[in-house]
Amino acid sequence: ASSGASITIRDILTASQQQPVPHHGYQCMSCCRVFPTLWSVKTHIQHSSQEGYSCKVYYRRLKALWEKEHKEQEAAAPRA
């Protein structure tokens, strides 16, 4: 169901917290390119297939995995 979910700025930031960026900017976690702004990363992800990259697929899959993990954590949490 989340395969059609759009990638948000929050998703990009969450993914990028795992890797330090070598310079000022934001790194696409799929292709490792560094962009000067969050907007430019989001634009890159949205149009990555036109550039020969599969970054949009990567972020959609990553987001689906996060959502699945979150649902599993909610299900495993003790209910009061």
The residue with tokens 């700025």 is: 9
Long-range CB pairs of 19-28, under 8 A, 24+ apart, other chains included = 28/55
Mean pLDDT throughout 6-20?
75
pLDDT per residue as tens digits for the range 23-72: 678 889 899 898 998 899 999 999 998 988 899 999 999 999 989 988 98
Query: What's the pLDDT band for 1 if we cut at 50, 70, 90?
Result: very low
